[in-house]
């Protein structure tokens, strides 16, 4: 079966081997026509060239990674973060991405007040929402695993992300990454809720390794860990989302050390054997 | 102010330096009269001798660590786990512990079915409850951080633990360890709920380090991380629990390498300066 519309490669997955242009060439060699790039990869080649590559090849962008990181310990810092998010929206719109993924940020400065951080996140998303809507760019809040609550994202469950979506209304949805949410006893119910809200904007996949040797950079290839990927995909499709499954693997000591072609070939093989029933 | 009734030392904290008897001597030298031992430490000295030390010194046990680990991939395995939990109840009762702490266990064998694991946990606790009640030994479900969902505990939020308590009724409550729950956006509400249920059996403290270098053995000393300990203690006291704060620090590369007296002196100093307003 064609991979068209079914699998996307988040370019973090081949970060160890390839920049933007090489990764696109690699994906096309393997029959993959959807990607999700990171801002630093786009900046390295230049936005104009990235847009050219995307358009020339008719690529689909299942997301642009990433906006967010709203909290700061000064008003100036928060305002600078908002401006930076507007630039991320510009880039996502220029490349025609499906959404801008938001990793919302953790505790500002030396603060221990996670409630305040969450307030700043809500205010930050509210502040960029009109700008995003003017460019028809959906904002995808990605709840991150609770182990990142301090330093990366203080939105840590799908329930919490959807509560924010309900508060802010049109233009804000969620990116559901199995790595972050697979453990959640409310996952099935909250995915169904997200479906009713029309809020599912992206579905990211990888696997949770046992043991996990690094909190950030030891994600597993689909099938190498404990996540029941077809079950979660089933819930997501039952909720009405049929977009591509986006492979996003941070793996400093394993996949990032391998040739990009090997990583992509493995992604495709595992996608076909592990990710759907 | 006296430390009596206010601080307890979980003997994992001094595991690198001391066994059961040395740890008790150390605590008494520092004016600490409450402890929470681990089963392997009790077994190493023998239950009879442990009971003698506890009774001779009039020690309070804020818990016994630990029962749980219910799931298994065979019926025989599950039955063996239930029998082992009964022995843990016997020990806790012999030493007069306030509760038996339950770390409920993760995915059985090579299973990816966390729903099934959770069902086995519920059935396992239900199976040992009459035995615990006959010895008047409360069972304290400890929700563990979601990063342990696969290999240690598939009960990962206070809400989930309290749902189990409601299903099973009298004799089951919760141990609230800040390390596992500090990130939870529902924490304040669920602590209040636990208070109304009369379900708070223990309060464990340590700190979340940024960065955290190991998923299991890199917990921080109170004050060295990002957890707002006085705020959470305030919620717990407002919910009606005024028992000791039990210091439980797994720290292979730091505190476990230091002399026990240094660790205890630091626990006391931080307890007095960081843990209450």
Domains (ranges, CATH) in chain B? 7-274 (3.20.20.150)
Q: What is the pLDDT of residue A241?
A: 98
**Average pLDDT of chain A, as a whole number:** 97
**Coil vs helix vs strand at A89:** helix
Of A182, A173, A175, A100, the C-alpha closest to A135 is: A100
What was the pLDDT predicted at A186?
98
Using the Cβ of A208 and the Cβ atoms of chain B, whether some distance falls under 8 Å is answered with: yes
Nearest to B183 among A146, A185, A215 (CB): A146
pLDDT, tens only, A250-260: 999 999 999 99
Q: Give the span between the Cα atoms of A28 and A31, in whole angstroms.
A: 5
Long-range CB contacts for residues B84-92, cutoff 8 Å, separation at least 24: B85/B124, B85/B128, B86/B128, B86/B131, B88/B39, B88/B64, B89/B128, B89/B131, B89/B132, B89/B135, B89/B137, B90/B135, B91/B39, B91/B42, B91/B47, B91/B64, B92/B61, B92/B64, B92/B137
Which of B:118-157 have CB within 8 Å of A? 118, 145-147, 149-151, 154, 156-157
> Three-state SS for B259?
coil
For A264, left (φ over 0), alpha (ψ -120 to 50), or beta? alpha
% of chain A with per-residue pLDDT over 90:
97
CA distance A32 to chain B (A): 28
Q: In chain B, which residues have pLDDT < 70?
A: none
Which pLDDT belongs to residue B1?
73
Q: Is A102 helix (H, G, I), strand (E, B) or coil?
A: strand
How distant, in Å, are the alpha carbons of A158, B22, B117, B181, B182 from that of A190?
Answer: 6, 49, 20, 20, 22
CA dihedral B274, B275, B276, B277 (to 10 degrees): 30
Q: Which residues of B touch A158 (CB under 8 A)?
A: none
Q: Does A227 touch chain B (CB under 8 A)?
A: yes
Mean pLDDT of A51-70: 98
Q: Kindly report the nearest CA distance between residue A114 and chain B, in angstroms.
A: 8
For A25, the token pair is 């060439």
pLDDT at A85: 98
Give phi and psi for A115, each to the nearest 5: -65, -45
Q: Does residue A277 register a pLDDT over 90?
A: no
What pLDDT does residue B277 have?
72
Does the structure show a pLDDT above 90 at A1?
no
- pLDDT for the residue B199: 98
pLDDT of residue B157: 98
User: Would you say residue A2 has pLDDT above 90?
Assistant: no
| Residue A55: pLDDT over 80 | yes
Please compute the mean of the pLDDT values over residues A44-55 and round it to a whole number: 98
- Condensed to tens digits (0 to 9), the pLDDT of residues B167-194 reads 999 999 999 999 999 999 999 999 999 9
Looking at the complex, does the CB of residue A228 fall below 8 Å from at least one CB of chain B? Answer: yes
Distance from CA of A127 to the nearest CA of B (A): 22
Residue A190 at interface with chain B, using a CB cutoff of 8 Å: no
Smallest Cβ–Cβ distance between A212 and the set B157, B159, B215 belongs to: B215
């Amino acid at each position: 079966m064609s991979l068209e519309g079914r699998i996307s490669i988040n370019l973090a997955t081949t970060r160890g081997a390839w920049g933007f242009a090489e990764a696109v060439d690699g994906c096309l060699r393997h029959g993959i026509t959807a990607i999700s790039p990171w801002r630093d990869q786009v900046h390295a080649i230049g936005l104009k060239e990235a847009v050219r590559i995307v358009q020339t090849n008719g690529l689909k962008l299942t997301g642009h990674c990433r906006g967010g990181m709203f909290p700061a310990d000064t008003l100036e810092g928060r305002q600078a973060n908002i401006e930076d998010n507007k630039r991320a929206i510009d880039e996502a719109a220029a490349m025609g991405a499906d959404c801008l993924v938001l990793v919302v940020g953790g505790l500002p400065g030396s603060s221990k007040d996670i409630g305040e951080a969450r307030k700043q996140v809500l205010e930050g998303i509210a502040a960029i929402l009109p700008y995003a809507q003017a460019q028809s760019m959906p904002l995808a809040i990605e709840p991150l695993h609770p182990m990142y609550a301090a330093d990366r994202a203080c939105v840590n469950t799908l329930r919490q992300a959807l509560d924010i979506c309900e508060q802010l209304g049109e233009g804000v949805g969620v990116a559901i990454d199995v790595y972050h949410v697979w453990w959640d006893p409310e996952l099935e119910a909250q995915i169904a809720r997200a479906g009713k809200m029309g809020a599912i904007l992206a579905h990211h996949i990888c696997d949770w390794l046992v043991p996990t040797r690094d909190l950030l950079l030891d994600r597993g290839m689909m099938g190498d860990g404990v996540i029941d990927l077809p079950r979660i995909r089933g819930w997501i499709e039952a909720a009405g989302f049929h977009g591509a499954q986006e492979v996003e693997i941070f793996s400093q000591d394993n996949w990032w050390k391998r040739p990009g072609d090997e990583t992509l070939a493995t992604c495709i093989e595992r996608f076909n054997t592990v990710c759907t029933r």
